[in-house]
Amino acid sequence: MTRVTSLFIFCLALLCGQIQAQPTDCTSDRYQERVFNNIQVTSDLTYGNAQNVVFWNQSLELDFYEPAPAEEYLQKRPLVVMIFGGAYILGSKTDPDMVAWCDSLSHRGYVCASIEYRLDNAANFALFNQGVRAAYRAIQDGRAAIRYLLEDPDNLGFNIDPDHIYIGGQSAGAITAINVAHLEEAERPVATTNYNIFNPDLGCLDCSGNNYVQPFEVAGIIDLWGAVLDPSHIDAYDDIPMVLIHGDADNVVPYDSGPPFNVPLFPTMYGAVPMDAQLTANGTCHQFFPYPGEGHTIYGTTSTIISFPNNNWEPIYNQGVNFLYDKTMAFDSPVPMGNQVICPGLTETYTVPMTIGSIYCWSATNGTILSQNNNQVTVQWNQGMGSLSLTETTCIDIEGTTQTITIDGTSMYTMANGNMLTGVQTAPFDYEVQGPIESNQLVNGPIHVDYDSGTYIDLKPDFEVTLGTSFHAFIDGCGGQ
């Protein structure tokens, strides 16, 4: 889908506000580990209603998973929407794999929604173009669910961070998820329009389910053995990170390309291999995990033959959840700005750009932090080498990679006796010279020279100063003698 320009800007302080005090030590395992002991599940929330395949107005519901309110400390949380599979004719938001995804994600600090969507029936699905129409109805429902969660019309406290909306699914759910993220109005399949009396126009992407106006962008996709009708719909402009997981022996949804179930009646679809190629060509961040020799629904199904989960569940879950953090959330903290060559015993102030809602944690070696004002710190340095480190933690408790700069607190001394003082200077130190000044030559760029008489002269790198017949010059970069 096309990037949406927001019509308004939320107050960032409110956006990143806190219910309880946000941790201030910049150390957080949220999203990386199971950090919440308890979660809360609110079931059967109605996010909208829409006409289904038999022209009935169907209620659309979802189950919402979140960290237990008593343990939560953030007001805005990342959202993951998970969509079940079942060829658009079977399945439920309470399928064991959907419950497992949402339960596990919410224990890590995400909020998660497992959604119902309008299903087709086997007799109708077998007719020409009906599979495409069934998928499009599911895409509309997925978008309606996200709009509802952002709107929170009943003030249930969903508290979604609109910058961190993720979507995933398996099989038909993955097909739906990819298209919720990427499909544009201009790319609607012709089969979804009004082409005969039995197939009325299904409406625009956001014209079904509910009337909430909540433009959104997807920040990442978990694709579990899904596919698309046209890989070009995954365009570089969207630049949405995706993790692709697919068995290379899948005979339901093509691993490469072909019709679903290998039935020529269905349109050609393009699975993980061509999508991986498209994402690579786009330069979009993604990971592809093929499972050699595996077929469809490779972590187990709820059939009487294979039960969920099998031994593929844990690696697949880890690949999905690690991708979300490592490739869409993780970031580098900013590099501290300030003098790195200093005078022993003196103080220096260092800053980084301020992001509202973030907290900044500083640490110094061979120096003492005298004061700190979140993104600014003042340090008194000892003689010798030292370092200054900074870690930023965002308003949704994502810990940035620590940045460290080296501090040079050593003194470099140059002694000169006679009537000429020369030197090469690359940093703006203060030079102190005793003795009358006769002349000086300015060469390339200013440095500051401090004389006992109180006279100040701006000299340049590669400078030359001519002094009287009797003088003593002691250069240590700090004005010492």
Span 58-96, pLDDT tens digits: 999 999 999 999 999 999 999 999 999 999 999 999 999
Encode pLDDT of 178-205 as tens digits.
999 999 999 999 999 987 778 899 999 9
Which secondary structure element, helix H or strand E, spans residue 287, and what is its range? strand 286-291
Q: Residue 461: which of 431, 434, 427, 433 has the closest Cα?
A: 427
What does the pLDDT look like over 422-479, one tens digit per residue? 443 333 344 444 443 333 333 333 334 443 333 334 444 444 444 444 334 444 445 4
Residue with tokens 């409110």: 14
Structure tokens at 125: 């699905």
> To 10 degrees, the CA torsion angle through 214, 220, 222, 227?
80
Supply the pLDDT for residue 323: 98
How far apart CA 479 and CA 452 sit, in angstroms, is: 10
Q: What is d(CA 373, CA 131) in angstroms, rounded to the nearest whole number? A: 58
Q: CB–CB of 145/59 below 8 Å?
A: no
The SS3 call for residue 114 is: strand
At 98, phi and psi to the nearest 5? -65, -40
% of the chain surpassing 70 pLDDT: 79
| Listed residue (361, 389, 381, 364) closest to 373, CA to CA | 361
Domains of the chain, first to last: 31-329 (3.40.50.1820), 347-409 (no CATH), 414-475 (no CATH)
pLDDT at 231 over 80: yes
Residue 256 has pLDDT above 80, yes or no: yes
Segment holding 313, helix H or strand E: helix 313-323
Amino acid 175 reads I
Rounded to whole angstroms, the Cα distance separating 462 from 444 reads 7
Q: How many CA atoms lie within 13 A of 242 on its CB side?
A: 34
